[in-house]
Structure 1
């Protein structure tokens, strides 16, 4: 038999030598002995595979697969970044990337522009939301389903990407040569006076320029006469801890404790205080959160709650109270490691899931409300740990109907908005546009001609009921009875649309406005029609109720 030999052996030899060296200085039962023993076993297993397995072993792919499997046993935030993903990592931390300013999504079995940055190279070249990318640098995407379009789009600033695009409303693809630039991802995507005296800041991220953007927005809004503020942290996944600390410092006095991190490496434990003079400690403030407000965004919300600096409104936040640090690894690779939990000024940690003590199926255990510990804000209000930040003022959010969920899951609202955009060159301004009965009727007609299939819950239940009686003597009779009622139960799209018109209308408005006016237009629409923003505006108009929410609630 011919033995396979390659350069991998010298790397394996290095691992084996390390493992062997450790073993020679440790003893059974010692933690380092266990590490050395298992490294030795792992290296030997890979050596055997590389030498004897019937097919060639790809060392890079195999090792990366094993690393991913290893990290999955910890938590989803401990992540390895191979060399080809470093650009993605840098984008998350710096907020910068080299490209043309679009996001592609697979919609209706094609790659379409689902987001475009205003004034980006793609936008200035004439591309828009809904446009279908047919070719990238000569590669026909329909012939390359395994190819990631994002990889094809990559390139350094100053280089050119060649695109063939089927634009909305057109039947023939058009060629574009677009020069890549360094694109800065905005943290603050909207800052405006939404009602007389009420400012609004929508903060979507916490990359390296977040504090600078929030500070600039605050100063500008004050110039415009802001007397009250809404800070919108909904759907904000967090980011850099340093930015969360500095943003808190904008609203709380110098010297105030902001957050403490505690982990296994004691010398890494640290308490962070506000180092600078705040620029606004008095303006009445509402912070909006929801179940997708996480990490650094939760720190900001939690700190402002603990100091009674703002009323928190919305739904309970995500509950990520874990801190990661980035470690450089050989060959331009990196990894993020969860090293600590963070504790906000009241002393509470808001981590919702226990990744150490998992359920039998391997999922993390959820925090139980019954085990919550009580803490207190600066004014003596009761707050609890675990499970995220609980709002001071809950805004009930009605779950979407099964019909609306199906429309969104199959991108039907997006596809109709694209076709609508192609057929209508302009619409009313974003602040006044509304989906009326005529547009709903157009959507209904379009939906009927589409390949959209939907089974209403009642229809699904009837089918399940019929299946459960299959083995019974009365099955045939029951089947005939149910079939006689089919026309009554069978889903009628027009009926469903009419039934859920109030729910579908704002969703459709958002899609259409995004196609015409991009993110800026959607922001304008939101400040006029978003129920949570309207609730915050209403509360800020009731100073007595606002003050009561921030006061200690004594038992009667």
Structure 2
């Protein structure tokens, strides 16, 4: 029956196309290739030596097809629909944690405030052994987070090894509808200076930001830092509504232009402005994308805010979601967006490819000049350039290795198990004794690090072995290797400041969650420090916006 249906459907598709096509027509080519594809699938299903999984085979072929387009054109099968809805609505039914696999175990690496997990006594660092009797380590191919999700109101039984303990315990947690916050922090960080960290642009982003503004105004806010760093974007309409909070009604925000002309649209501010005069600084970095760049770029085009940080990601593409048969969906790039100055900030040309198959990055030399409301020069392509550049924090190969092998996280777990309390997040500092304790602890862990010099030395050694005089060179090579071999104490001393900062940040999160981590960062973060300093320099702030 299935084979007959597949053959029949292919035939119907071909007949429908042929009825309105000619051999030279583009639609004929589509119909022809669909018929070929259906025939290939039919032959595989009929004759391939092993059983063919139709769902897996079709999903693989669709994914391969979409790889030739941009990475934002995506197919969602029915079993991934929940993830898609979570991404757009910011809601899911579960317990509010993120698990990270570390050395064949699953540990809680993030926990939502006011979540069911937090109410049940779970904490960062706890090891989840099983969920409803299913041992996580027995299902390495499965996504353990799917076991935690389910109907709100249902109970879930979790076997957990609490951080610092040796005997697992069973904990019952009630699943709830978890709302992923867009505004993950808001507060007064200096007298009169408000700070809002916006991490996403799901369906409630503008509402959350508006509420945060009202609360901060009541707390005495006179100036605002809006942090869009690491924000990957989201719903275009939310970006428009957020711009409307700072710009007058009827102001043009953004326009979209694509192949389907009737979908081209200009978005204007629909509501009265909430904060028309509030001095505003926006923080961006190279992972601020899409809707984040719309907000930052529009505020720059209207000279409404000073941008501080690093050049943004450069995603100037718009996607729409199309419903497909059998509860599947597809997100398709349909247009580019243009902000009020007329510029599009798309950084990658996915239509053209390099010889290696990668997409072409637009060159700065090809950028066009545009102008803000006050005639400040801005350019298109490659993202939004900040008004004040702050160098991005760079990590060394050694600190990268510590993080990649979870040494920072695991020591924070160890620290939490031996220190019941710590000072307030903003006051916490790692002592010299604490850092030495980390060094001693690290030497007992299966941590591996090979410096760049050692890696290059291996190459040189292999080449030297082919030389006739290798026997004479060998002692000198060995001495060089001993001199430059990775030395844990030397690396720890060289990067003590960076490592201490990483440890402090992680330890604070274990005690005070994300809110505490943000409060700890205020005195350390170069971009936040630069923003606070600029607010103290009123004349400089105004001259930047005036283009002087």
- Tell me, in whole angstroms, the C-alpha distance in 2 between the residues paired with 1:25 and 1:292: 46
The equivalent residue for 1:227 is 222
Structure 1 contact 20–40 (Cα < 8 Å) conserved = no
The equivalent residue for 1:372 is 367
Note the C-alpha offset of 1:540.
Answer: 1.0
Note the C-alpha offset of 1:470.
Answer: 2.2
Aligned counterpart in structure 1 of residue 191 of structure 2, from 169, 189, 196 = 196
The equivalent residue for 1:362 is 357
Say yes or no: does 1:118 pair with 2:126: no
Q: Partner of 2:197: helix, strand, or coil?
A: strand
- Tell me, in whole angstroms, the C-alpha distance in 2 between the residues paired with 1:12 and 1:235: 48
Of 143-152 and 187-196, the range deviating more from structure 2? 143-152
Deviation track 1:281-321 (CA, whole Å, cap 9, x = no partner) reads 21111100000000001100000000000000100000000
Q: After TM superposition, list the pairs within 5 Å mapping 1:71-90 onto structure 2.
A: 71-90=66-85
Deviation track 1:131-168 (CA, whole Å, cap 9, x = no partner) reads 11111111112222222212222211011111111111
Say yes or no: does 1:484 pair with 2:482: no
- Tell me, in whole angstroms, the C-alpha distance in 1 between the residues paired with 2:4 and 2:544: 67
Say yes or no: does 1:397 pair with 2:392: yes
Say yes or no: does 1:537 pair with 2:532: yes
Q: Partner of 1:550: helix, strand, or coil?
A: helix
Say yes or no: does 1:419 pair with 2:410: no
Say yes or no: does 1:63 pair with 2:58: yes
Q: Partner of 2:382: helix, strand, or coil?
A: coil
TM-score by length of 1: 0.97
Structure 2 contact 6–42 (Cα < 8 Å) conserved = no
Q: Partner of 2:108: helix, strand, or coil?
A: strand
Say yes or no: does 1:381 pair with 2:376: yes
Note the C-alpha offset of 1:531.
Answer: 1.7
Say yes or no: does 1:504 pair with 2:496: no
The equivalent residue for 2:275 is 280
Q: After TM superposition, list the pairs within 5 Å mapping 1:138-537 onto structure 2.
A: 138-537=133-532
Structure 1 contact 352–386 (Cα < 8 Å) conserved = yes
Structure 1 contact 8–59 (Cα < 8 Å) conserved = no
Deviation track 1:506-542 (CA, whole Å, cap 9, x = no partner) reads 1111110011111111111122322211111111111
Note the C-alpha offset of 1:8.
Answer: 4.2
TM-score by length of 2: 0.98
Structure 1 contact 26–32 (Cα < 8 Å) conserved = yes
Q: Partner of 2:546: helix, strand, or coil?
A: coil
Structure 1 contact 168–418 (Cα < 8 Å) conserved = yes
Deviation track 1:320-365 (CA, whole Å, cap 9, x = no partner) reads 0000001111111111000000000000000000110111222111
- Tell me, in whole angstroms, the C-alpha distance in 2 between the residues paired with 1:548 and 1:131: 51
Q: Partner of 1:528: helix, strand, or coil?
A: coil
- Tell me, in whole angstroms, the C-alpha distance in 2 between the residues paired with 1:468 and 1:292: 41
- Tell me, in whole angstroms, the C-alpha distance in 1 between the residues paired with 2:178 and 2:534: 37
Note the C-alpha offset of 1:228.
Answer: 0.9
Structure 1 contact 466–478 (Cα < 8 Å) conserved = no
Q: Partner of 1:431: helix, strand, or coil?
A: helix
Note the C-alpha offset of 1:34.
Answer: 0.8
The equivalent residue for 1:3 is none
Structure 1 contact 153–161 (Cα < 8 Å) conserved = yes
The runs of 5 or more residues in structure 1 that have no matched partner are 1-5
Of 196-205 and 490-499, the range deviating more from structure 2? 490-499
- Tell me, in whole angstroms, the C-alpha distance in 1 between the residues paired with 2:438 and 2:391: 29
Give the aligned length: 548
Aligned counterpart in structure 2 of residue 128 of structure 1, from 123, 132, 136 = 123
- Tell me, in whole angstroms, the C-alpha distance in 2 between the residues paired with 1:223 and 1:154: 38
Q: Partner of 2:425: helix, strand, or coil?
A: coil
Structure 2 contact 232–289 (Cα < 8 Å) conserved = yes
Q: Partner of 1:161: helix, strand, or coil?
A: strand
Deviation track 1:413-467 (CA, whole Å, cap 9, x = no partner) reads 0011011111111111111001121111011001101010111222223323222
The runs of 5 or more residues in structure 2 that have no matched partner are none
Note the C-alpha offset of 1:398.
Answer: 4.1
Note the C-alpha offset of 1:253.
Answer: 1.0
RMSD: 1.2
